[in-house]
């Protein structure tokens, strides 16, 4: 029994399903970031590119580090200023198989100055691009779940491959996500002291629909609050989820890894 348990521990590995490695904060430090990630057993990472520059740098990173794959789209925060210029660039990358997913795209109504109609327009464009290229979609959604569900139910195929990244919604929102067959990704926010409701969500997510992420360089987990986040910090999120589920961290790590491999077709 001891030998089997040790073998499982040694085989544990983590998949960071959402990190901004080509951001200006992390890109200059990537040699150290990747060394620390490997030491923490983070062996696969999806880099989220949000503009043409981070896409160019992300493609360079993918050549240097076999653990990295890229996803791309203009975020809802930036589509008003950058959407028209960036969309053709992301579309070309998707059509030439340089992307593992389309995103992060979606809706964000938290910032009242952002125009919902422009966000919706680009969300639909990216949904259609994902369908054209047979790629999964990574959604960003804050305070906009009703509109996100209404648009995707109309413009995206039923049970189409999708991830709700950095989920911070309610239990009801989570149930709606899961009912559509999407994956629900938990970030370091689940470890924060005041995230009791989010830990309730983590407890109810089926293991076969769970992903974990850092959203680095943002949202470092509780023990690293105030520091720049990076993939090496991902195990703390996995341990928190394992604790609320009452299971071993190996189960969270390996289930979320297999889920990420499945949706990103790795």
Quote the distance between the C-alpha of residue 255 and its chain's center. 15
pLDDT at residue number 196: 97
pLDDT at residue number 1: 41
CA distances to 53, 184, 230 from 164, rounded to whole Å, are 24, 5, 20
φ/ψ (deg, to 5) at 76: -60, -25
Domains of the chain by start residue, with CATH: 13-263 (3.20.20.140)
pLDDT at residue number 112: 85
Q: Are 90 and 55 in contact (CB under 8 A)?
A: yes
Task: Find residue 101's DSSP bridge partners.
Answer: 71
pLDDT at residue number 113: 87
pLDDT at residue number 109: 96
pLDDT at residue number 8: 44
**Pick from 139, 102, 110, 107: nearest CA to 120:** 107
pLDDT at residue number 24: 97
pLDDT at residue number 3: 45
For residues 100 and 188, give the distance between their C-alpha atoms in angstroms, rounded to a whole number. 23
> Quick one: DSSP state of residue 12?
-
Q: Are 197 and 170 in contact (CB under 8 A)?
A: yes
pLDDT at residue number 169: 95
Quote the distance between the C-alpha of residue 141 and its chain's center. 12
pLDDT at residue number 111: 86
Give the pLDDT means over successive 10-residue stretches in the chain (266 positions): 44 95 98 98 98 98 98 97 97 98 97 93 98 98 97 95 97 97 98 97 98 98 97 98 98 98 93
pLDDT at residue number 5: 44
pLDDT at residue number 235: 98
Provide the 10 A C-beta neighbour count for residue 218. Answer: 16
pLDDT at residue number 11: 73
């Amino acid at each position: 029994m001891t030998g089997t348990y040790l073998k499982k521990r040694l085989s544990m590995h983590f998949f960071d399903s959402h990190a901004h490695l080509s951001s200006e904060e992390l890109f200059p430090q990537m040699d150290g970031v990747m060394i620390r990630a490997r030491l923490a057993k983070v062996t696969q990472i999806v880099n989220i590119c949000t503009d043409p520059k981070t896409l160019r740098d992300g493609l360079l990173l993918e050549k240097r580090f076999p653990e990295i794959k890229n996803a791309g789209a203009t975020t809802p925060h930036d589509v008003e200023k950058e959407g028209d210029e960036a969309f053709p660039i992301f579309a070309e990358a998707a059509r030439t198989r340089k992307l593992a997913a389309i995103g992060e795209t979606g809706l964000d109504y938290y910032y009242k100055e952002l125009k919902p109609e422009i966000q919706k327009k680009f969300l639909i464009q990216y949904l259609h691009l994902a369908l054209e290229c047979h790629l999964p979609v990574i959604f960003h959604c804050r305070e906009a779940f009703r509109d996100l569900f209404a648009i995707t139910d109309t413009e995206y195929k039923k049970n189409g491959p999708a991830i709700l990244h950095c989920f911070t919604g309610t239990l009801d929102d989570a149930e709606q996500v899961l009912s559509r067959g999407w994956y629900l990704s938990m970030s370091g926010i689940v470890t924060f002291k005041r995230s009791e409701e989010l830990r309730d969500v983590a407890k109810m997510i089926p293991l076969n629909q769970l992903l974990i992420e850092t959203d680095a360089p943002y949202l470092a987990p509780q023990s690293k609050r105030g520091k720049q986040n990076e993939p090496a910090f991902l195990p703390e999120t996995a341990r928190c989820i394992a604790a609320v589920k009452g299971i071993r961290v190996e189960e969270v790590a390996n289930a979320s890894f297999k889920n990420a491999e499945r949706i990103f077709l790795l």
